[in-house]
Amino acid sequence: MDFSEMWLDIKPIENIDINSVSITCTSRETASSAAVWELRNSFSRLLPDVRFTERDADYKIKISIAPMDSPESFTLSADNNGASIVGGGGAGTLYAAFTLLRDIRLNGFKTLNISETPSLPLRMIDHWDNIDGSIERGYSGKSFFFVDGELVINERTVQYARFLASIGINACAINNVNVRWGAEMLITDKYAEKLSALGELFERYGIKLYICIDFSAPISVGKMDTSDPLDEKVQKWWKSCANELFSKVTGLGGFLVKADSEGQPGPYAYGRNHADGANMLAKAVKPFGGKVIWRCFVYNCAQDWRDTETDRACSAYQSFSPLDGKFDDNVILQIKNGPMDFQVREPVHPLFGAMNNTNIIAEVQLAQEYTGQQRHVCCLLQMFRDFLDHRTYCNDDNDTVSDVICGIAAVSNTGDDHCWTGSELAAANLYGYGRLSFNKTLKAEDIVDEWVKLTFENNDAQSIISDILLNSHDAYEKYTVPLGIGWMCKPNVHYGPDPWGYEFDRWGTYNRADRNAVGVDRSSEGTRYSLLYNEPLRTQYNSVETCPDELLLFFHRVPYDHKLKNGKTVIQHIYDTHFEGYEKAKSFAKAWKTLEGKIDDRTYENGCERFNEQLRSAKEWRDIINTFFYRFSGIADEKGRKIY
Amino acid sequence: MDFSEMWLDIKPIENIDINSVSITCTSRETASSAAVWELRNSFSRLLPDVRFTERDADYKIKISIAPMDSPESFTLSADNNGASIVGGGGAGTLYAAFTLLRDIRLNGFKTLNISETPSLPLRMIDHWDNIDGSIERGYSGKSFFFVDGELVINERTVQYARFLASIGINACAINNVNVRWGAEMLITDKYAEKLSALGELFERYGIKLYICIDFSAPISVGKMDTSDPLDEKVQKWWKSCANELFSKVTGLGGFLVKADSEGQPGPYAYGRNHADGANMLAKAVKPFGGKVIWRCFVYNCAQDWRDTETDRACSAYQSFSPLDGKFDDNVILQIKNGPMDFQVREPVHPLFGAMNNTNIIAEVQLAQEYTGQQRHVCCLLQMFRDFLDHRTYCNDDNDTVSDVICGIAAVSNTGDDHCWTGSELAAANLYGYGRLSFNKTLKAEDIVDEWVKLTFENNDAQSIISDILLNSHDAYEKYTVPLGIGWMCKPNVHYGPDPWGYEFDRWGTYNRADRNAVGVDRSSEGTRYSLLYNEPLRTQYNSVETCPDELLLFFHRVPYDHKLKNGKTVIQHIYDTHFEGYEKAKSFAKAWKTLEGKIDDRTYENGCERFNEQLRSAKEWRDIINTFFYRFSGIADEKGRKIY
């Protein structure tokens, strides 16, 4: 099979005086055997002439296990002569091995003394892979898990498990949360054997297997006439289903559920709430240590655009905040970073400050659904950083998002493309997401630096690519959707500008532009969304004066000549950012052109194609958004640039 | 098979003292045998107890042939005792038979003396049926010609041929002008036998079979490396293809071609013009009496929305008017009624006044792509009437569209639905189109009256349905797109409102609305489209003062407070018509409800469903279009009605 090794493509190190390596491991854990294999494989590539011996080696690696905070914890000490790895469990040894290898590749054979426990216990990737092989919001080819209704396990699957383990991911949901086209049958005998084989492979790499289930499976699979969570027959059916599944499938972590959302079935159909639904499933998987991850992405997707009272942004809060404390301890709520849906700029979801007594994890999206679909370069790591650092004010201190969550999940951006992520540069998002979930204090620029050094050899290339990545989100935001308003993309495909594509539709995503003003009033005078935040955020967001400009049009409706904090009018800000964003994109494309010969041809060509498309599309964004607002406002650009 | 007989569903006539009927026919023409069959079949349904004898019958029908203007001409004289039919050929006898039967059903056994020659020699239906069974812009189910790549002939096909003959249609292109998914192979041996069987059936009903061909068939079918019309190998290939096809397929009329349009291949790829392309094909089919019908729907479908110089409306004129007189005599140019694409209101295509030395036919669309897709009732007959009566001013007199064309083609609105046309009411369009093409002087209200009487028995129902139909186009125009601007529908699907769905796209279909004005300046100060008309139209359209209000925004860009000829401002006209149009639709739905029990249940239910959808959709149109213009103009409705 032909695919890239991404950041695990190990090149030999020159001028190292190590001729022999020994690896001794006293752990019998399956993940430790993966650690040994990874070390052996990687050293044979780092040092092509190396011999592996059992003793008296130039470089000695010792692996063992000892009680620690968590089985995923480890200590790693190393110097020129070898390394000592002690894990809290098999996973700890595996993470230590990857840490050692990464450090050697980045810094050479240096002295190391690291003690680490992953910041967040649950570090997850959610695949939106359909059972027919298509991927919802997939921009990197087809599924490598599913082909024509069958589960596939091959070299790619092994390589993928290695990628995930190397960045510390420990859970993976393999199918789309929109469970359809036969995917509801994944919980039946038909798939048990294949699932178990996958679960075993994942287990070796410290990854729990999750399955997205159809909440109405008692009907669709069980041929019953209800899936009411309070119906005893339904409860019994799920218990029996869980019993079968956990007994047959190795390494199963539990279920991920999208319920009562965008047409998916859920407890509301029976007058029950989300706690009723989630707890019923939780009880079924509890005996097997299983977890139920329950998405909070619940809103009315049949809104009348004429209705200005209903606000989609409020919806999940209204559904879930009254249920805080009512969920079983093996239920985990999965909350999107913002209240809408993975826009380039959104406020942090108010639920993060409202669920003190519930297990919650954050959901972010690596698939660049609304951020250029891996055709535009858009590094999401600083956005993730800011999100994790955002204070919720639900306690007096230690109340940033990263403090209140017990894990994080990301919608995958991978597929069966040669480079896995559509654009080679999009791999930085996957890599960085994993690194950040493992160590939530890492800085975006340090992660990018790591990824660039692990991926590209040439120093110029490293620095140029780092620079592109670190500026890419800002550029994308500038030439697309201004001041947090969101949703100015083409409906359905979510690619390219269409400023009123959603304005008269049923999705609750409006900008309400007219000749006088733009934006949605979500203050206490409007939809009252701002009141869902804890103080001082509530007051800050509620007032036009104190609301951060970057979210101004999300929270407020203002005239085009409203002055931002820098003294610019809203309309001039729109013009300026759109011209600037496009120029930035142009500078990226130009910088990329200088990489010819400095990086491999395939990556170079992949980038050229995508930068061409990014420029074409960015120009459309710039001109259409500027024209849209110019036609409404009638206010000319101060700098006299061309607006149509 | 279960399908409606539409207007051919013959009910017994009461109190007629005819016990026996004789039919004698001296014509050996195949269409005359169909005439005999139609008469015998229909009389046995009109008079269930009738005996057919060879002589001394109460009612004697004599059929013969004599030289006339055309084989399609006929004389028909009838009284209480019988009818005499003389046809110029078999088709003439068949048309006379249908005329007699229609008249008996409408008026009883009256004295008749009719001499008729069809107004237009070519009266065509164009199917946009794909070979996989789907129908492009089909709203009446799937194709009854094609199923999974195979040509199908069954009772439905026979019934369809009877429908066409009964309204005088004499040509039918069975496949989509966008030739794809294997339809390019229709000209090969694979389909010859089936095509010939269909051609034979059609021939019996006086209908010529046409096939849409792929202009690049020398490449796609012939595996050559070019389809350059001036290349001798290409010319030879087409000659050989036509030779094969005409020798094997009975009743073949020729080819219909969409070239250099919306991605279809054409002569432009080789630097040739449309005359080069059409004449090359014409020479290939000439020896067999074949015709080449060549569509003039040619425009740049990759326009930059920023480009205000290019005007799609001018495009066909620019391509074809310089070629007037350059086409072979068996080439027929097919020109859409308007310069854009079957909008609810367009000016008449300027090419009709510019092709004095070329065979031209008009193309209209029965499929209600832009007029409610057979979910909204929208009777097109008055629009066709107005179109045919429109003066082109290419001569001093006799220069209406109906004078300058040698035929007319309509995109079919049929499919394999039970009622054939999605909505039962849409059958009026098919019926009326045929009647109008046969006798171009008929009035829309008379045709509707005919169709209603042939379709419904109940007098109340007849009058209510006539009323709905005759007011339906006006209502649809009112609640949808104002003053001729067009294209405010959802892109691709062309259903439902999306006033800026096309504004920033590549299709050349813009309204250029802003806070000050709306409309496209196509005058001498703008795209100069108005100058393509002959005087006095040129002057009339060119000036805001003299341009008909119904086309004002098509030809001109005006401020919202521009006064129409009735003294209303543009914006108030928009508000008024949108509220009125919706109320009209409501009155249709209400009137339909009174028909329960007066028409058959299936038709009644079909109507109820569709009127519900029409109302839902009409409300969206009303509110979205009003809101769109209100947000731009900021001008309140004088009557204070709700705008969002």
Collect all residues of chain A within an 8 Å Cβ-Cβ radius of residue B498.
501, 504
pLDDT at site B600: 95
Q: How far is A511 from chain B (nearest CA, A)?
A: 12
**In A, which residues are within 8 Å of B633 by CB distance?**
515
CA B496, chain centre distance (Å): 22
In a shared domain, residues A159 and A228: yes
Q: What is the CATH number of the domain that holds A278?
A: 3.20.20.80
Please check whether residues B476 and B426 belong to one and the same domain. Answer: no
What is the tens place of the pLDDT at every residue in A20-52?
999 999 999 999 999 999 999 999 999 999 999
For residue A396, the model assigns a pLDDT of 81
Choose, out of A480, A500, A621, A630, the residue to mutate when testing the contact with B (most B CBs < 10 Å).
A500
Q: Is residue A546 part of a domain?
A: no
Give the closest residue to B114 by CA, choosing from B130, B103, B125. Answer: B103
Minimum distance, in Å, between the CA of residue B515 and any CA atom of chain A: 5
C-beta atoms of A499 and B500 within 8 A: yes
**Per-residue confidence (pLDDT) for residue B397, from 0 to 100:** 86
- Measured between beta carbons, which residues in chain B are less than 8 angstroms from residue A515? 515, 631-634
Give mean pLDDT, residues A581-587: 98
Contact at 8 Å (CB) between A348 and A401?
A: yes
Q: How far is CA A372 from CA A575, A610, A618, B628, in A?
A: 20, 10, 10, 28
- Rounded CA-CA distance A413/A135 in Å is 10
Of A305, A500, A644, the CB nearest to B306: A644
The whole-number pLDDT of residue B121 equals 98
Cα B361–Cα B367–Cα B373 angle in degrees, nearest 5? 150
pTM score: 0.94
The answer to whether the Cβ–Cβ distance between B514 and A634 falls below 8 Å is yes
B528 domain residue, yes or no: no
Q: Note whether A224 contacts B: Cβ–Cβ < 8 A.
A: no
Q: Are residues B128 and B12 in the same domain?
A: no
Neighbours of B39 (CB within 10 A): 25
The answer to the question of residue B292 being in a domain is yes
**DSSP at A509:** -
Same domain? B267 vs B230: yes
Give the count of beta carbons closer than 10 Å to the beta carbon of residue A318: 12
Residue of B nearest to A630 (CA): B514
Alpha carbon distance, N-terminus to C-terminus of chain A: 49
Q: Is a pLDDT exceeding 80 seen at residue A1? A: no
**For the stretch B183-211, what's the b/e string if a residue is b when 16 or more beta carbons lie within 10 angstroms of its beta carbon?**
bbbbbeeebbeebbbbbebbbbbbbbbbb
> Does any CB of chain A come closer than 8 Å to the CB of residue B519?
no
Place of tokens 């339906």: B472
For residue B497, give its domain range.
456-520+557-644
Say if residue A94 is in the same domain as residue A139: no
Mean pLDDT value across residues A499-508 = 96
Q: Are B364 and B354 in contact (CB under 8 A)?
A: no
pLDDT digits (tens, 9 = 90+) for B262-279: 888 999 999 999 999 999
Cβ atoms of A71 and A87 within 8 Å: the answer is yes
Are B66 and B161 found together in one domain? no
3-state helix, strand, coil in chain B (%, to 5): 40, 15, 45
A516 touches chain B (CB under 8 A): yes
Residue in A501, A504, A620 closest to B624 by CB: A504
Residue that is written with structure tokens 């110089």 in the block: B309
Question: Can you read off the two tokens belonging to residue A309?
Answer: 């009272």
What's the rounded Cα separation, in Å, for the pair B87 and A545? 87
B chain contacts of residue A516, beta-carbon cutoff 8 Å: 634
Residue range B99-120, pLDDT digits in tens: 999 999 999 999 999 999 999 9
CATH number assigned to the domain comprising residue A55: 3.30.379.10
- Contact B166/B96 with Cβ under 8 angstroms? no
Q: Is residue B351 part of a domain?
A: yes
CATH code of the domain containing A633: 3.90.1330.10
The whole-angstrom separation of Cα B274 and Cα B283 is 14
Given the structure tokens 């905070």, which residue do they identify? A69
- The arithmetic mean of pLDDT across residues A565-575, rounded, is 98
Mean pLDDT of A514-538: 98
Is residue A514 a part of any domain in this protein?
A: yes
The two three-digit tokens of residue A629, written as one number: 């607002």
CB A256 within 8 A of CB A293: yes
Does residue A545 fall inside a structural domain? no
Residue A248 pLDDT grade (very low, low, confident, very high; cuts 50, 70, 90): very high
Regarding whether A317 and A260 lie in a shared domain, the answer is: yes
Domain boundary among A70, A96, A116: A116
Q: Please report the residues numbered 304 through 333 in chain A whose beta carbons come closer than 8 angstroms to any beta carbon of chain B.
A: 305-306
A375 vs chain B: nearest CA distance in angstroms?
A: 20
B369 and B137 in contact (C-beta within 8 Å)? Answer: yes
Structure tokens at B180: 């794809």
Q: How many CB atoms lie within 10 A of CB B302?
A: 10
From residue B51, alpha-carbon distances to B44, B59, B574 in Å are 8, 10, 62
Please list the alpha-helical segments (H only) found in A119-227.
155-166, 189-204, 217-220
Q: Which residue of B has its CA nearest to A308?
A: B644
Q: Which residues of A are catalytic?
A: 262, 341, 369
* Same domain for B94 and B68: yes
Give the pLDDT confidence of B134-156 residue by residue, as tens digits: 999 999 999 999 999 999 999 99
Structure token pair of residue B397: 């007199």
Q: pLDDT category, A632, cuts 50, 70, 90?
A: very high
Chain A neighbors of B634, CB-CB under 8 A? 514-516
pLDDT mean across residues, chain A: 97
Contact B415, B139 (CB under 8 A): yes
Using DSSP, how many helices (H) and how many strands (E) does chain A show? 17, 18
Q: Does B55 touch chain A (CB under 8 A)?
A: no
Q: What's the pLDDT score for residue B506?
A: 96
Residue B631's closest chain A neighbor by CA? A514
Take residue A587 and report the two structure tokens written for it.
């500078």
Phi, psi angles (nearest 5°) of residue A482:
-85, 145
Name the residue type at position A446.
Answer: D
Collect all residues of chain A within an 8 Å Cβ-Cβ radius of residue B644.
305-306
Compare CB distances from B631 to A497, A513, A623 and report the shortest one's residue. A513
Q: Are residues B219 and B245 in the same domain?
A: yes
Are the Cβ atoms of A632 and B627 closer than 8 angstroms? Answer: no
Of A306, A501, A632, the CB nearest to B515: A632
pLDDT in tens, A143-156: 999 999 999 999 99
Radius of gyration of chain A (CA): 25
- Give me the residue from A305, A306, A514 closest to B631, CB to CB: A514
> What is the count of structural domains for chain B?
3
C-alpha distance from residue A388 to each of A124, A306, A540, B608 (Å): 16, 36, 19, 55
For residue B112, what are the β-bridge partners?
A: B78
pLDDT tens column, A268-306:
999 999 999 999 999 999 999 999 999 999 998 999 999
CA distance A553 to A482: 8
Test B632 with A514 for CB contact under 8 angstroms: yes
Quick one: what percent of chain B has pLDDT higher than 90? Answer: 98
What is the chain B residue with the closest CA to A500? Answer: B500
Assess whether B499 and B368 both reside in one domain. no
Catalytic residue flag (residue B103)? no
Please identify which residue in the block is written with the tokens 């308003």: A485
Tell me the count of A-B CB pairs closer than 8 A.
Answer: 48
User: Nearest CB to B497: which of A497, A504, A631?
Assistant: A504
Find, among B251, B262, B238, B441, the residue nearest to B341 by Cα: B262
Map tokens 């975006």 to a residue. Answer: A444
- Are A366 and A498 found together in one domain? no
B195/B416 Cα distance (integer angstroms):
19
User: Torsion over CA of A168, A172, A177 and A180, rounded to 10 degrees?
Assistant: 150
Angstroms from B640 CA to nearest CA on chain A: 17
Do A500 and B497 count as a contact with CB atoms less than 8 A apart? no
- Look up tokens 């005893």; give the residue: A232
Specify the amino acid at residue A203.
E
Residues of chain B neighbouring A633 (CB-CB closer than 8 A): 515
Tokens (6 digits) for A316: 């999940």
Chain B closest CA to A216's CA: distance in Å?
30
- Taking the CA atoms of residue B68, residue B74, residue B79 and residue B82 in that order, the dihedral angle to the nearest 10 degrees is 90
Residue A361 lies in a domain: yes
List chain B residues with pLDDT less than 50.
none
Element holding A2 (H helix, E strand): none
CA distance A614 to A620: 10
| Strand pairing report for B82-87 and B74-79 | antiparallel
Residue at which a domain ends, from B397, B422, B451? B451
Q: Does residue B529 fall inside a structural domain? A: no
Nearest-angstrom CA–CA distance, B425 and B472: 11
Q: Which of B392, B421, B451 is the last residue of a domain?
A: B451
How many other CB atoms are there within 10 angstroms of residue B287's CB atom? 11
Which of B29, B203, B363, B369 is the catalytic position?
Answer: B369
Q: Do A164 and A109 lie in a common domain?
A: no
Check B29, B38, B203, B341 and give the catalytic one.
Answer: B341
Helix (DSSP H) and strand (DSSP E) numbers for chain B: 17, 18
CA angle B291–B292–B295, rounded 5-degree value: 140
| Chain A environment of B504 (Cβ under 8 Å) | 497-498, 620, 624, 627
The pLDDT of residue B54 is 87
